[in-house]
Amino acid sequence: MTKKLLVAVMGHRNSGKSETWKILFNDQNIRTAQKSERILKIGPNEYTNVFLINGSPQERGKLVEDIIQVNYNPEIVLCSVQFKKDALNTLKYFHENDYYIYLHWLNPGFNDTYEYPDSESIIQEVMKMDSLVGKRNGKIIANTRVEEIKNFIYDWSKRNGLLKVL
């Protein structure tokens, strides 16, 4: 069975998580839509469907399963994750539901004054899961990390038969 994909961007509040999605979708007002996937253009005439959680479950005070809803099983989820201890609950939810985790840790984040340690041992725990983790500087323009994310999603979609032609 092919795993599903979680693309997560993690950082403190105002670190650049939402900016990542705004640039990826070329939409300054991008929002989460429950039970609704959206088209993500990832090639000149190609796209894939994704479910976006913009505004982390931690900031919303909600469980990720309450945002996605029971029996809704998107193949690709893009999710903001706030760097807090309960971020692990969000990441574990995806791991336990057969998602491969592709995580960008924004450290320092856009509004952080310094690079900070993994005081919650989140990265250490995610590394025990089926994952690929990278630390990115949220203070620099987001275009490079967005292109990296887009390329990863493209390759994943192509390998797993999720790529569609416009």
pLDDT of residue 28: 78
pLDDT along the chain (166 residues), means of 10: 89 95 89 78 94 89 83 89 94 96 98 96 96 97 96 96 94
Task: Report how far residue 55's alpha carbon sits from residue 154's, in angstroms, rounded to the nearest whole number.
Answer: 23
pLDDT of residue 136: 97
Cα–Cα nearest to 79, from 47, 107, 110, 101 = 101
pLDDT of residue 61: 87
pLDDT of residue 96: 95
Helix H, strand E, coil C: the string for 78-105 is EEEEECCCCHHHHHHHHHHCCEEEEEEE
pLDDT of residue 33: 66
Task: Report how far residue 133's alpha carbon sits from residue 151's, in angstroms, rounded to the nearest whole number.
Answer: 15
Predicted TM-score (pTM) of the model is: 0.95
